[in-house]
């Protein structure tokens, strides 16, 4: 029988790589907590209509990338292609807006039917950060600082913050008209997607990755030149706040982001080490989204940060680092030694914060040392007949390659305490 492989565009994560995931998720939670953001968990599938309305009918995501299925009750369901729409749905359903501004984050998988390549998967994971109910640019600066701190914590200095404004319901219609004037004369030369989107949503053309569109996109008018007074003021205030926080940025009038719901601020953190899939984090303000999903008019701002891409940057920048060795490999040579060592290992696992590895099978010492290397153990604890007779145990420092003999007399708890002291 042929073995079954994982679906295309998905990845299994297992040790030692999973340790990087645990650490990154822990850092996401820690930084969110420092800003007063609470975790929200929502289902990974929702009614298809939620994404059609929330992400936008003419976006790549909704037109091409969604995993949609009909369930046994004949309802159209979709695996979430991003986290924000589900979060808004939940916040509305539980009437959380009645309690004032909501600062929330979520960690988890999202699904897009894309062509798999480095940094692009069909199941990927995001940190999604959302601040609802604050209209001022202080909230934009706040969420940007969350992403900036996470990058800084991993020493990712090369990620550049690109900033733009895509206007609001006052100035965007003017921009739309300007775009139509610009693209219409070249309609026949545009890609099929862009031709189709021209009349419905010309802004989407700006986000096209098709080579055919590029010359026309490059010469298109810029939203930033057409901002209304309020949008201009919002943008200027955000720039002031970022300067005050010491967060460097570049104004990039070309970024529009792939989701329809953005208003005013849009931003991306881009890393040069990632190649084609260079965006680690993308976000912006979405003042119309909550209303679009049936809620009261509520401003919002947030971002999605791709965990796979984040870890790729970390790995590329770190290069080949020797992994940190930690914990103890317990080695018993013979039945009597095993009986004596097992309760000590039990106590170590109860009381020490570091891992204790043990393989109780009857094996040669060299095999045990191999296991210690595989486990990344810092210490080996060796008990054989010799040591048993002397009521001693050998503690080997696997980094310094030094042996110490420690007393093995007394109850297991006492021996474990001596060992914890000797190894910290």
Number of alpha carbons in the 13 Å side-chain half-sphere of residue 415 = 24
Nearer to ligand ATP, 54 or 258 (CB): 258
Nearer to ligand ATP, 237 or 277 (CB): 277
Nearer to ligand ATP, 52 or 280 (CB): 280
Beta-strand ranges (E) seen in 210-252 are 250-251
Work out how close the CB of 254 gets to ligand ATP at its nearest, in angstroms, rounded to a whole number: 13
Beta bridge partners of 108: 126
Work out how close the CB of 424 gets to ligand ATP at its nearest, in angstroms, rounded to a whole number: 38
In which element (H, E) is residue 419 found? helix 412-422
State the Cα angle at 34 between 256 and 353, rounded to 5°.
Answer: 120
Break the chain down into helix, strand, coil percent, rounded to 5.
45, 20, 35
Closest CA to 343 of 360, 365, 368: 360
Position of tokens 């680690």?
Answer: 280
Residue 105: Cβ-neighbour burial (10 angstroms; 0-12, 13-18, 19+)? buried
Task: List the structure tokens of 15.
Answer: 């040790």
Inter-residue contact 38 to 107 (CB < 8 Å): no
Nearer to ligand ATP, 308 or 387 (CB): 308
Inter-residue contact 135 to 143 (CB < 8 Å): no
Work out how close the CB of 299 gets to ligand ATP at its nearest, in angstroms, rounded to a whole number: 19
Angstrom distance (rounded) from CA 22 to CA 88: 27
Angstrom distance (rounded) from CA 149 to CA 163: 17
Work out how close the CB of 110 gets to ligand ATP at its nearest, in angstroms, rounded to a whole number: 8
Nearer to ligand ATP, 235 or 261 (CB): 261
Nearer to ligand ATP, 241 or 267 (CB): 267
Nearer to ligand ATP, 142 or 308 (CB): 308
Work out how close the CB of 287 gets to ligand ATP at its nearest, in angstroms, rounded to a whole number: 18
- Contacts with ligand ATP by CB under 6 A lie at 82, 112, 114, 119-121, 124, 126, 258, 277, 279-282, 304, 306, 308-309
Nearer to ligand ATP, 56 or 258 (CB): 258
Would you call 59 helix, strand, or coil by DSSP?
A: coil
- Of all residues in the shown chain, the one whose CB is closest to ligand ATP is 306
Work out how close the CB of 79 gets to ligand ATP at its nearest, in angstroms, rounded to a whole number: 13
Nearer to ligand ATP, 309 or 378 (CB): 309
Work out how close the CB of 305 gets to ligand ATP at its nearest, in angstroms, rounded to a whole number: 6
Work out how close the CB of 258 gets to ligand ATP at its nearest, in angstroms, rounded to a whole number: 4
- The conformational region for residue 262 under phi > 0 = left, psi -120 to 50 = alpha, else beta, is beta
The two most distant CA atoms of the chain are separated, in Å, by 94
Closest CA to 230 of 204, 179, 265, 282: 265
Work out how close the CB of 303 gets to ligand ATP at its nearest, in angstroms, rounded to a whole number: 7
């Amino acid at each position: 029988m042929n073995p079954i492989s994982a679906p295309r565009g998905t990845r299994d994560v297992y040790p030692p790589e999973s340790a990087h995931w645990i650490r990154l998720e822990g850092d996401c939670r820690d930084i969110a907590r420092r800003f007063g953001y609470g975790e929200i968990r929502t289902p990974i599938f929702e009614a298809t209509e939620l994404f059609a309305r929330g992400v936008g009918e003419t976006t790549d995501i909704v037109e091409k990338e969604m995993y949609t299925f009909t369930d046994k009750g004949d309802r159209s369901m979709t695996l979430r292609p991003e986290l924000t729409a589900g979060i808004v749905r939940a916040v509305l359903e539980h009437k959380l807006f009645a309690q004032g501004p909501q600062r929330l984050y979520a960690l988890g998988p999202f699904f897009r039917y894309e062509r798999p390549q480095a940094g692009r998967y069909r199941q990927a994971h995001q940190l999604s950060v959302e601040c609802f109910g604050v209209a001022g640019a202080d909230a934009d600066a706040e969420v940007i600082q969350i992403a900036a701190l996470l990058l800084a914590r991993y020493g990712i200095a090369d990620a550049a913050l690109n900033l733009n404004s895509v206007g609001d319901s006052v100035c965007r219609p003017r921009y739309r008209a300007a775009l139509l004037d610009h693209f219409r004369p070249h309609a026949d030369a545009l890609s099929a997607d862009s031709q189709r989107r021209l009349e419905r949503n010309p802004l989407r053309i700006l986000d096209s990755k098709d080579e055919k569109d590029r010359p026309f996109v490059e010469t298109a008018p810029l939203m930033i030149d057409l901002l209304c007074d309020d949008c201009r003021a919002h943008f200027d205030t955000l720039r002031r706040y970022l300067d005050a926080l010491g967060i460097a940025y570049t104004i990039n009038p070309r970024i529009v982001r792939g989701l329809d719901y953005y208003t005013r601020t849009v931003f991306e953190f881009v890393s040069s080490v990632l190649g084609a899939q260079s965006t680690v984090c993308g976000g912006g303000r979405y003042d119309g989204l909550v209303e679009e999903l049936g809620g009261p008019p509520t401003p919002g701002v947030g971002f999605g940060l791709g965990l796979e891409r984040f870890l790729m940057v970390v790995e590329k920048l770190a290069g080949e680092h020797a992994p940190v060795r930690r914990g103890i490999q317990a080695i018993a040579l013979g039945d009597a030694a095993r009986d004596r060592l097992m309760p000590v290992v039990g106590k170590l696992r109860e009381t020490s914060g570091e891992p204790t590895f043990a393989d109780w099978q009857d094996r040669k010492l060299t095999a045990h040392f191999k296991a210690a290397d595989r486990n990344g153990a810092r210490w080996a604890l060796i008990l054989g007949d010799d040591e048993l007779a002397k009521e001693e145990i050998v503690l080997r420092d696997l980094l310094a390659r030094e042996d110490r003999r420690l007393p093995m007399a007394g109850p297991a708890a006492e021996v474990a305490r001596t060992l914890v002291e000797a190894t910290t």
